[in-house]
Amino acid sequence: MDYPKLKSIIEGLLFMAGDEGLNKRQLADIMQLDADLAADLVYDLHRDLAREERGIQVAEVAGSYRLTTHPDHAEYFERMAYTPTRSQLSQAALETLSIVAYRQPITRIDIEEIRGVKSDRAIQSLVSKDLIEEVGRAEAIGRPILYGTTKSFLDYFGLPSIKSLPEPKQVDMEEALEEQTQMLFERLGERQTTIDEFIPISEDKPAE
């Protein structure tokens, strides 16, 4: 049995599973292995990552395994999250955010069904920027995470409450998503213009 290959497969599966992770029985079913063997392989992978001083590690949360960043590197992740050059939202992140804002609470799977593409990175980006957060668990198989917007989301878009979001006119889901995303983008633009108006001009800058 090719153990290095099996561990490599598990690493890829845990990466794809994202925050929800996979338990040993799910891994066993996917890889057609004994559940205890799957657990042993995860433990070996955990030791490999630690021994090689890799930037990611395997963590067990509520019986499921998932890949996480190394806690010793937290200060660098915080710097990245608040770096001005990374403050702008990508189209994928803005689209994902609009889905969460208008359909919360919502699971990652439901987000991906609406978007039609994987949304792990967009969700992680929004969580790191404190725009969305875990608000509970769905009453479904695997108890997937439910996401909702945060107070920082309201501050970011200058909204008094989530009820202040503009209502889309479209009924078709695809058109509604496009319209909701555009409205958030426009709202963000309005918010930035308002902020810019209050940035003092340096006295050293010559008048134009």
pLDDT tens digit string along 11-25? 999 998 887 889 999
Identify the CA nearest to 119 among candidates 93, 86, 145, 83.
93
All domains of the chain, ordered by start, with CATH? 3-72 (1.10.10.10), 88-197 (1.10.10.10)
Band of the pLDDT at 30, cuts 50, 70, 90? Answer: very high
Q: Please state the length of the chain.
A: 208
pTM over 0.95: no
Strands 132-137 and 145-149, bridge-based pairing: antiparallel
For range 170-179, the mean pLDDT: 58
At residue 116, the pLDDT reads 87
For residue 200, what pLDDT is reported?
A: 37
Residue 153's identity, in one-letter code, is: F
pLDDT of 100 strictly over 70: yes
For 123-137, write each residue's pLDDT tens digit. 998 998 889 999 999
* 33: confidence class by pLDDT, cuts 50, 70, 90: very high
| Three-class secondary structure assignment of the chain | CCHHHHHHHHHHHHHHHHHHCECHHHHHHHHCCCHHHHHHHHHHHHHHHHHCCCCEEEEEECCEEEEEECHHHHHHHHHHHCCHHHCCCCHHHHHHHHHHHHHCCEEHHHHHHHHCCCCHHHHHHHHHCCCEEEEEECCCCCCCEEEEECHHHHHHHCCCCHHHCCCCCCCCHHHHHHHHHHHHHHHHHHHHHHHHHCCCCCCCCCCC
d(CA 207, CA 25): 69
